[in-house]
Every structure is written in C-alpha cells, then in structure tokens.
Amino acid sequence: MYYDYKEKEKKWQDYWHENKLFKTQEDRFKEKYYVLDMFPYPSANGLHVGHIEGYTATDIISRFKRMQGYNVLHPMGWDAFGLPAEQYALSTGKDPREFTYQNIGNFKRQIIEAGKGIDWDREFATADPGYFKWTQWIFKKMYEKGLAVLKDVEVNWCEGLGTVLANDEIELVDGKMVSERGGYPVAKKAMRQWVLRITEYADRLLEDLDMLDWPEHLKEMQRNWIGKSDGSMMTFKVDQSDQAFEVFTTRPDTIYGATYCVLAPEHPLVLEITSEDEIKSVKEYINITKQKTEIDRSMDKSKTGVFTGAYAINPLNQRKVPIWISDYVLPQYGTGAVMAVPAHDERDFEFAQKFGLDIIEVVRGDAEGAYTGDGIHFNSGIIDGLNNEDAKYKIVEYLEKTKQGYLHSTYRLRDWVFSRQRYWGEPFPVIFDEEEGIHLLNDEDLPLELPILKNIRPSGTGESPLANAYDWLHIKYDGINGRRDTNTMPQLAGSSWYFMGYILKNHLSMVPLDSDEAKVLLDKWLPVDLYVGGTEHAVGHLLYARFWTKFLYDLGLVSHKEPFKKLFNQGMILGDDHSKMSKSKGNVINPDDIIESHGADALRLYEMFMGPLESEKPWSTESLNGAKKFLDRVWRMFEFDIVSDEVLELRTIYHQSVKKVTDDYEKLAFNTAISQMMIFVNEVYKVQKISKEQARGFIKLLNPIAPHLTEEINQSILKQNEQLIYSDWPTYKESYLVVDEIEFVVQINGKLRAKFIDSRKITQEELKAKALAEENVVRHLEGLTIRKVIVIKGKLVNIVAN
C-alpha cells in the first residue's frame, strides 16, 4: 500500500481546522490541563525547525492529556510589538502593522502544516487593540498603586536606533557598547523614564521559587538575578564637609579593617567632594565608565580607579580613609558606595595592592591573600576576641545605638525601565498637563491606539516618532490642555500576561479583565500546567510574568501567586555542522522544505527521536530519512492479518509498550517512547499479524507524535468512526507485563548444546531433568560422566562432565 503523505496530511489538517476539533470545551466535570508555548515573535524569516521542536512537544502532551480525559487548553498567539518590526519598516518603508500581520499569517500556516492542534478561537497578537487595552489598564493600576513612576534614570541610549535598549540588546565590540541589532553606538544617558517598581516584590519573587516545578538551574538564575544580600547599612561622614554617604556591607564585623572607601563613578556626591587637583582625572574616568555595560563592569577582573582627593571618617575608630571611585562599584547595587576591607575581601585586596593602599588584618586566618572565612577578631576595638557572627551582632547593635547604621537587605534586582522611544509599541494611557502633572485616561477611553504615521523615524529629540503626530499628541481631555506621552511600552509588556489573555479570549472578543466572569475563568485555568520554551527568557520574560501575576493577585483578580506550575526548557537544534543555526552560516533548516520532502509526521517523529528533549542536538538528514522509513513501515504493518482475537505472541510486548510510552510521555521522554514503539513494530513483523485491539491501541500511542498517519489508519484501514483525538488512552495490565515463558540455554562444559522454552515457574529439579532429556544433550554426553549440574535460575543449565 502506498501512503501519500502530502494528500493525507492536508486532508486531516483541513478537517481539524474546519471542524475546530481542538477547541477547548468548558467542561466542569473534567480536570483541566493548560499547555503553553512561549509564543513567537512573527519575523519575516518564518518558523525554523527549533520552533517545531518545542511546538511538537507541547502538541504531543496536549493530545496525550486529552485522550487521558483532561479538558485541555492549548492556545497560540503572537508577540507582535517590538523593535524588529520597526527596524524592518524603517529599512523598507513598509508599515510595521501590515508587515507584522503578514508574518503572522505565514507563521500560522506553518504551525497548521506541522500538524499542531491549536484552539484558534483564542488566538490574538499583543498588537491587537482588544488585547493591549488591558495591558494599558494594568499599567494604570500599577500607577494607582505607586508601582509605576516617572524617574530620571541612566539608560543605554542608542542614537542610531533612536531608543533605549535593555542590557541584553547590547554587545561589546572592541571595548565599546553597540546595539545587537545594527551595531550602532550605545552610550549611557540620563532620561526621564517610566519605571515599574518590581523591587517591591523582590522577597516574594525569591521565596515563591520554592513552590515551582522548574529546572533547578533556572530557579538559581532567578535567585542570582534578584541577588538578595543580608547585612547592615552604615554612615560614613566626609571629612571637612557636611556631606555623608551610606555604605551597605554583609561584613560589618570587619569595619576596623576598612582602609578606604569606593564610590560608583555615577554617585551623586562624586563631583561635590572631589578636590580641585583631582577633578580632571575624575571627570575623564566618569566618561570612560559611561562606555561600559553593567555586565562588563561586573565581569572585568582588571581593577581601575581614581582618587577623589577626599576622605571619609570610619564610624567606629574615627580613622580618616581615602575616597576613590571605581567602575567595579555599580550605582544601582546597594548604595553605590562600599567600605573597602582589603585584608578580608579579594576584590578590595586586588585594588589595594594595585594602588598601594593600606591593608589591615582584623580577623585571624591563614590565607595568603584576603582571608574571607570565620575567625577571631583582633585589632577590632569592641569586638576583639569574638567570631564573625557575634561580632556582626555587636557592631550592628553599636551602630543602631549611636544612630550610625542599621540592619538591612539589598538586592541586585533593578526596577524595570518601562519606556521605549519607539513607534511600534503600546502607547501609555497618560496625558501631561501644562505643569507636567500626570493624568490617566478613563477606562472607557481605552485602548489608546497608535496614530497612523507615514514617517516613523526617530524624532531626533530623544523622543519617539510619536512626537511627529501633532494632532494625536496634543489633546484637550476632561478640561485639560495636555500632551500625550510619546514613549511606548517595551515588548515584554504584552508577554507579561498573555497566558491570561488566552483564557479570556473567545472567537470575537476578550472577557474584561476586571469582571467577575474573568476571575472565574482565570481561577479555573491558572496556573499553566506545562510551559515549554528556551532558556533565553530565564530572567526577562519569566521574572516579569511572575511579577505581573503577583500584582494581579494582590488586586484580587487571580487566585494564584505564580503563573507557571511546571517549566521545561527544550534544547537547541544545531546545524549538521554542530554549530548554531544562522542565516550567515547557511545551515538553517526550513520546516516547509522538510514537510514537502518528508511530511509533517516524519519531521515531528525525527525531532522527538533526536535525543532527550532538553539536550542540544545536531541536525541529520540521514536520520530524518530513517524516521520516514519507520512511518512507512508502520503503514505497511497494516497489510498483515488484523484478527479479532488477541495475538498471544504480542500480549507482553503490547502491554509493556503501553506502560513504557505512557510513563515516557509524562516525563517528556519522547525519544525513548519512540524506541519502545519501534520494538513493538518489529515484533509485529515477526508474527505477521495483529489483533484489532492491539492495532488500535498502538496507533493511539503513536497518534500524539504522528497524528496524520494514525488518523488515516484508524479511519481507512480499521474503519473506526471515532476520532483518535477524543478516544480513550490505552491501558495495560500489570499481570501481562512479565513474560510467563522464557528461553533456557543448556551447556556442556560451557558449550551451547540446546535451547528450549518453558515456564519461568519451573522448579530447579524439573529444569535439570528437562535439560538432561534434550536429544542433543543426550548425544553429547555419550561416553562422559556427569560430575556436576549447575542451574542458574531463569537462564541456563550448565553440565560439567568428563
């Protein structure tokens, strides 16, 4: 029989799509299961095979869970706002809106042709006004709760792109910051920006990680990003000045060993306290620092710095210590100032050695450089003789008593700079009056949509292209003569709550987020049961989505503190040269080409069989051919006799396969599930027949991976009217998992002389007697005397004779 995969796959895709067979049912009697993909940005390049890997994995699970009786929600949408579309529009003269929605059409076609079962009635793009209305509404609520504020902050400004860039959108080339997209120069610049105060949620974001079924390394990345440090704050006065600055330290017990202080070059006191002799070198150093990213400053092992000419007073012993500036101190971490204890901090030790600064030991230890361990304090005034913890307690007690310090925790986490100087993003629902007072749009006036602009080039003033939309920009609203905000929200705004948007979306509109109906729906479907995507979103999207969920929880709109219950990171698919796929290397695999040459089922099967889902795997066209051959072999298997009665020779392997595949699907171990199904097919080929029950059970096991082929077998060969999509998942019997009969081997003096099949329950005496009665054994024992008969239970009988 010939299987025309092109015709059959198109047939089933059309049937599923036209009949909306993957539409989520509001069935309150079934347990819910919410499967989510990290939705794509619809670029001009279309999907690549890496997308198909993750999308196939979630499709397998959603089909599997649906057959297990769950009410499955498996949606898809589009992360549609953002810089890439804007830059494409600028380079081509096309409208980013038109370009984006054209790309969405192509992505959707590719997903359908890959056989992915989606409830398309829930589809939306973050650029849909009906969706971003609620993104704007959430921003309004954050402003009302004091979590969205306007601040003057130092940002990464890219003149070439005309916008602020996040750290992960910047690269360092020849020691200079450039934009990842386009390679334009980037510099630090102070700008008035909207900031979301995610730091208010730092402790909860940290503590609630423990309740999540996420990869441990990913949770650790978030812990490190949040970066909580417990310690104390203390005040250092500037000598011969009425100025002072606060220092945060996790080792207040080493205060007597502080021999200098270091301020971040951006610290507001630097230019005020710098002496006339040092001002030129300090300003030069500040300008050099502006060319470095935070990451570069954190990772750079070479210590640089400049003396300010000023001194600070140690609050414990009143010693004067020099004040330096250095780029290893970051303005946003702690207070932007540190007390340096070179004898007991490696970084301070290196700095002190380089610049010839004092090193005073105050904790006994045996390290050649800086000793950072526990020990007895000396040269330490009120804490002499104490160990670290006792000394910390006594120092903080003294600082609090003298009002020079207090217990404190700091975080590496920064507040989220939420403004972008772009056109293609969500406008802020804000109006500034003539005195720069802030007024929010009323809910009934949302969404605030973007004006249609022919020119979306940067304004040249540091504002977004919206500054060119005069009629849109200037407005009289509620009796106010005002001006709209020309900034737009970052791309991560829309993706911070999109998993809720799917729950609220129906075919035509979205249930209002602030309605009772929305709360019922969100309570029913959240949290997401399984979220699959790449590790690149570990501390960006995932952290912000957790933050927004906790905020909506505080508003009483959702009943769950966390959005994603289980998270799984699929590994990258590499080129056949074992390097990352890229257009420049010419090793990108287009799924359209593979579906044309091998079919969607073969592509799905191959990608799941390449290796563990979480591992990196190189592409192999030869192995892809093997996947296609296996599916052809499955199709031809149904030329064998399909009988009514159970085929006993297949009983054990069938029940073993049901158990193995079920267990492996639960673990997302699809490669080993496929291996088991291959073993089953081989056994069928040996006996050349299969029962109807075994045949249908097998195609149910294979259906989540190869849905087109198995539905065709089910309908055209097995003549079943019930779709596999909504059939019951096969079950196994424990009693059939163990083989009743096994093969025994008989050896004489270690040489094989006979084999026979018998019950595994046979006694040793019966086994011995049967072995000695074998015709070939009797013949080879002629003229020999049996000295010993060794029986190895369940395996063999070895006869020793001479």
Binding-site residues for ATP, please? 583
- CB 736 within 8 Å of CB 657: no
Taking the CA atoms of residue 316, residue 321, residue 324 and residue 330 in that order, the dihedral angle to the nearest 10 degrees is: -10
Residue with tokens 């990213």: 293
Amino acid at 341: V
Q: How many residues does the chain have?
A: 802
Q: Report residue 235 as tokens.
A: 């005040």
Beta-sheet pairing, 337-340 with 260-263: antiparallel
Q: 30 Cβ partners below 8 Å, 6+ apart?
A: 69, 70, 71
What DSSP assignment string belongs to 197-220?
A: -GGGGHHHHHHGGGG-B--HHHHH
Amino acid at 297: R
Q: 736 Cβ partners below 8 Å, 6+ apart?
A: 651, 652, 654, 655
Q: Report residue 415 as tokens.
A: 């507040």
Strand partners, 531: 36, 567
Taking the CA atoms of residue 295, residue 297, residue 302 and residue 307 in that order, the dihedral angle to the nearest 10 degrees is: -170
Beta-sheet pairing, 796-801 with 786-792: antiparallel
Chain centroid offset of residue 680 CA: 36
Q: 113 to each of 46, 106, 593, 594, 699, how far by Cα in Å?
A: 13, 11, 12, 11, 21
Beta-sheet pairing, 71-73 with 176-179: unpaired
Amino acid at 27: D
Q: Give the angle subtended at the CA of 131 by the CAs of 129 and 137, to the nearest 5°.
A: 95
Amino acid at 639: E
- CB 160 within 8 Å of CB 187: no
- Collapsing DSSP to helix, strand or coil, 60 comes out as helix
- CB 743 within 8 Å of CB 762: no
- CB 107 within 8 Å of CB 76: no
What DSSP assignment string belongs to 112-127?
A: HHTT----GGG--BTT
What is the Cα–Cα distance from 514 to 244, expressed in whole angstroms?
A: 48
**Residues forming the annotated binding site?**
583
Beta-sheet pairing, 229-238 with 430-432: unpaired
Q: 285 Cβ partners below 8 Å, 6+ apart?
A: 265, 304, 305, 306, 325, 327
Which of 377, 371, 372, 374 is closest to 395 using CA atoms?
Answer: 377
- CB 558 within 8 Å of CB 549: yes
What is the Cα–Cα distance from 709 to 695, expressed in whole angstroms?
A: 13
Q: 553 to each of 96, 497, 523, 557, how far by Cα in Å?
A: 34, 12, 11, 6
What is the Cα–Cα distance from 46 to 107, expressed in whole angstroms?
A: 6
